[in-house]
């Protein structure tokens, strides 16, 4: 298995880890599909399906690349997951940099008693908010960081730690969106898994 295969697989694992978290999904606040056969994960990942003689398309919310279709009609929250590999040691241990970009339409940043989720729901999840005010991006960053940072139970993901510099930075893909980028350093990712007896 090549190092580049492993990098692509790593992004897939991170995305799937996020998709297993109910708070993360609630904070993204995806709209349900018009097609009853498509579940919330299908909607979040996006794609095109031919079901019962009809085509269904979902733009998606979560991507393994750092761009989204320019023809965005709905006000949504998006997430990009990407990696780079600054070094490979002995052909099997890689140092990864993991980047998680999360951003939303400016009208969706502020959480209140009428938003989805409400500020109170976010507070009850354990993220910073008052009963009447919250910030969707701050809550999502807190949620994502809680899932990834220093979690020793992430089988097959190596040691995930905050990058010592620029762990959290502002991200604005254009003047209609506001967001943040979380960056992590991953070490000791074993390409061969346990097959090598290491």
| Contact assessment for residue 127 and residue 139, using Cβ atoms and an 8 Å cutoff | yes
pLDDT given at position 77:
96
Q: DSSP letters along 22-48, please? A: HHHHHHH-PPPPSSTT--HHHHHH-EE
CA–CA gap between residue 130 and residue 145 (Å, rounded):
20
User: Which long-range CB contacts under 8 A does 146-151 form with residues at least 24 apart?
Assistant: 147/17, 147/18, 147/21, 147/24, 148/14, 148/17, 148/98, 148/100, 148/182, 148/184, 149/184
Residue-level pLDDT at 65: 86
Give pLDDT, residue 25: 97
Task: Please tell me the predicted confidence (pLDDT) of residue 178.
Answer: 96
Q: One digit per residue, pLDDT tens: the chain, 198 residues?
A: 677 777 888 899 899 999 999 999 999 999 999 999 999 999 999 999 999 999 999 999 999 887 776 656 678 999 999 998 887 777 666 788 999 999 999 999 999 999 999 999 999 999 999 999 999 999 999 999 999 875 665 666 677 888 889 999 999 988 999 999 999 988 765 555 433 332
Terminal C-alpha separation, the chain: 16
Q: What is the pLDDT of residue 104?
A: 96
């Amino acid at each position: 298995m090549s190092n580049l295969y492993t990098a692509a697989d790593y992004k897939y694992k991170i995305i799937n880890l996020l998709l297993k978290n109910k708070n993360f999904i609630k904070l993204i606040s995806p709209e349900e599909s018009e097609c009853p056969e498509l579940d919330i994960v299908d909607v979040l990942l996006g794609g095109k399906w031919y079901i019962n003689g009809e085509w269904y398309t979902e733009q998606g919310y979560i991507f393994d690349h750092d761009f989204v279709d320019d023809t965005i009609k709905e006000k949504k929250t998006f997430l990009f997951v990407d990696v780079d590999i600054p070094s490979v040691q002995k052909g099997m241990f890689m140092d990864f940099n993991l980047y998680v970009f999360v951003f939303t339409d400016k009208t969706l940043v502020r959480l209140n008693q009428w938003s989805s989720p409400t500020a109170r729901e976010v507070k009850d999840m354990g993220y910073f908010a008052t009963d009447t005010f919250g910030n969707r991006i701050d809550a999502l960053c807190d949620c994502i960081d809680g899932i990834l940072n220093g979690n020793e139970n992430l089988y097959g993901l190596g040691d995930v730690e905050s990058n010592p510099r620029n762990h959290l930075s502002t991200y604005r893909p254009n003047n209609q969106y506001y967001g943040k980028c979380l960056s992590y350093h991953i070490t000791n990712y074993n390409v061969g898994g346990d097959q090598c007896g290491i």
